[in-house]
Amino acid sequence: MVQNPTFPQELAALPNWLCWRSERDDKSHRNTKVPYNPHTGYKALPTDPATWGTLEQALLARGKYLFTGIGFVFTGEFGIIGIDIDNCLQDGQPNEVATDILAKLPPTYIEISPSGSGLHIFLRGRLSSDGKKNSKTGVEMYGDARYFTMIGNHWRDCADEIAHDSGTLEMIHSTYIKPKVQAKSKKKATNQGLSTLTDDRLLEMACAAKDGSSFDLLWRGDWQSKYKSQSEADFALCCKLAFWSNRDDGQMNRIFRQSGLMRPKWNTRHYSGGATYGEATVDN
């Protein structure tokens, strides 16, 4: 940890700072970065400015309450975008994804994440509405209601200011974030199947199978004990439905809507091609 971290003045001057502590989550059995209010020492919310403070207040609270570190909260009004490339450094050297992104950046502020294996990049600009995270590439992008842990460990000879985006955000999003959702075509039609089971029979067989308990948990909407996010659980249930329905997307969609995982997001259009979140999940 950098004891006296320095940040770009445009970040340091904003009242968007909070503290965080590494805590064990009983459900996921993983350590999570829990945000805390530098004024009170109680938990903070990245969506509630009343629970944030100045950089000075966050640094003082870090020592007072023995927090793990401090963090910066992104808000849409300031137009600052954070790009997180997770696990991209090996012995200090960037992997292929990070190398490509770094080569296309204008001179801007970048710091190494607290783990020492990731990079946090800052740019001024606007984000696309299509997804903000891709677990396969390790790239995340946020501009509102999220925070980055900050330690002031500058990446090599990075700039001490935040550059205005010159097209890099769209490149990162289209290359490393955006899901590959394609319109239905003749080629895809050959991959689709037709179920030989009724909905009730499919559910009966899936619950009675060797991994029936796993299916039943997802069917009832209990995802917190095994998955990091509900989106991952949505995909897991769709994979099981794909197996039992012979990839009959109509039946998959119909049965999913009866499950405990069903939520309004399923019908929300998330992609530039017009696909809803549910359609994309079934397609994937």
- Burial-class residue 167 by CB neighbours within 10 Å (0-12, 13-18, 19+): exposed
SS3 152: coil
pLDDT score of 185 more than 50: no
pLDDT score of 187 more than 50: no
Q: Are 151 and 5 in contact (CB under 8 A)?
A: yes
Residue type, 64: K
Which pLDDT belongs to residue 179?
A: 62
pLDDT score of 40 more than 60: yes
For the segment 262-267, the average pLDDT, to the nearest whole number, is: 92
Which pLDDT belongs to residue 226?
A: 86
pLDDT score of 183 more than 80: no
Count how many Cα atoms sit within 13 Å of the Cα of residue 22 in the half-sphere of its side chain.
7
Question: pLDDT of 164-174, one tens digit each?
Answer: 998 999 999 98
Distance, in Å, from the CA atom of 131 to the CA atom of 174, rounded to the nearest integer, reads 10
For the segment 81-102, the average pLDDT, to the nearest whole number, is: 95
Provide the token pair at 155: 């990446």
Distance, in Å, from the CA atom of 158 to the CA atom of 20, rounded to the nearest integer, reads 25
pTM to 2 decimal places: 0.64
Which pLDDT belongs to residue 194?
A: 85
Distance, in Å, from the CA atom of 166 to the CA atom of 95, rounded to the nearest integer, reads 23
Which pLDDT belongs to residue 180?
A: 56
Helices and strands in the chain: count of H runs, count of E runs: 10, 12
For the segment 70-99, the average pLDDT, to the nearest whole number, is: 95
Which pLDDT belongs to residue 127?
A: 87
pLDDT score of 271 more than 90: no
Q: pLDDT tier at 189 (50, 70, 90 boundaries)?
A: very low
Q: Are 165 and 81 in contact (CB under 8 A)?
A: yes
**Comparing C-alpha atoms, which of 196, 195, 202, 186 is closest to residue 250?**
195
Which residues lie below 8 Å from residue 150, measured CB to CB, with a gap of 6+?
5, 7, 69, 70, 71, 72, 111, 120
pLDDT score of 182 more than 80: no
pLDDT score of 184 more than 50: no
pLDDT score of 90 more than 60: yes
